[in-house]
Amino acid sequence: MTTTPLSHTPHDSGVPESARDFSVEERVVLVTGAAQGIGRELARQFAAAGAFAVVADLAIDKAEAVAKEIHDAGGVGLAVEVDVADESSVAAMVDTVIEQWGRIDVLINNASIFATIEKGPFDEIPLEQWEKVLKVNITGSFLCVRAVAAHMRAAGFGRIINISSDSVTRGVGNYLHYVTSKSAVIGMTNALARELGGHGITVNCVRPGMVTTEVERDQSPEARARAASQQCIPRNMVPTDLVGVMFFLATPASAFITGQTIACDGGYTHSS
């Protein structure tokens, strides 16, 4: 595994500049919540495309298993333990990556509480659960952005990609803590884009639909089929469906796109 700090730009492979704009090769890509589900697939796919993937997760054993998958497939991956809701833990994660590669090019704020959330009427949500969901899903993203921002400013390049949810536009009932947290992610994206745009850093948001992963969730086959039937592309969404838009937002090619929330949901929702 590479241990020498890298320069601020990927090496010149002789590929024309315009083509390299669409490449993630040798980009240091930090994915939180990457031990399973969407995050795991994103880390694997970025590594397969030549990026140096940081598999960051509280479940370090699972993160190390993903890093091994990446290594066995010929890629470069680094497992790092992190609790995104803890400021010191986030700082230690960033220090580890900087020590390893000297920079962080891309931050994907994927970590969130979702599958384990107890659904119920808003006035029956325990305050402790409400605060836990918001602390991980929104404060965690804030802490990660704050920790990487100085390094991205110094490099004059950065791509921050936050992950929201189509539940924000649909207003899913009995899910107020989750929907509120994912709504806040969109607002945070818009405000950060204003603050960081002058430093060569873009901040965008991707809003997935109902994604079928290996993580067990309260989604029956009937619910998945019903959601798919309401999409323009009538099939179940899988993690690889997010890869194209995530790659694009991570590259120099998206340099003039910031403060945007992009729906990737098979056409389930439409923007006006």
- CA nearest neighbour of 81 among 89, 73, 72: 89
Q: How far apart are CA 154 and CA 148, in angstroms?
A: 10
> Residue 4: pLDDT above 50?
no
Find the mean pLDDT for residues 211-216. Answer: 85
pLDDT confidence of 16, banded at 50, 70, 90? low
Cα-based distances in Å from 24 to 20, 106, 112, 173: 8, 10, 25, 38
The token pair at 99 is: 């020590």
From the list 54, 122, 57, the residue with the least C-alpha distance to 85 is: 57
- The arithmetic mean of pLDDT across residues 205-225, rounded, is 84
Helix 37-48 / helix 60-72 crossing angle, nearest 10 deg: 30
Task: Name the strand (E) or helix (H) holding 161.
Answer: strand 158-163
Q: Give the start-to-end residue ranges of the domains of the chain.
A: 23-264
* Residue-wise pLDDT tens digits, 240-271: 999 999 999 999 999 999 999 999 999 988 75
Model pTM score: 0.92
- Closest Cα to residue 45, out of 138, 141, 114, 110? 110
CATH number, domain 23-264, options 1.10.10.10, 3.20.20.210, 3.50.50.60, 3.40.50.720: 3.40.50.720
Comparing CA positions, the residue from 84, 95, 89 lying closest to residue 34 is: 84
DSSP-derived letter for residue 149 is H
Residue 178 CA: distances (Å) to CA of 46, 82, 97, 141, 263: 27, 21, 29, 14, 18
Arithmetic mean of pLDDT, 31-35: 98
- Confidence label for 272 from pLDDT (cuts 50, 70 and 90): very low
User: Per residue in 165-212, pLDDT tens?
Assistant: 999 998 999 999 999 999 999 999 999 999 999 999 999 999 999 998
- The confidence score (pLDDT) of residue 2 equals 43
Q: What is the mean pLDDT of residues 18-39?
A: 93
Active site residues: 178
* The predicted structure's pLDDT at residue 153: 98
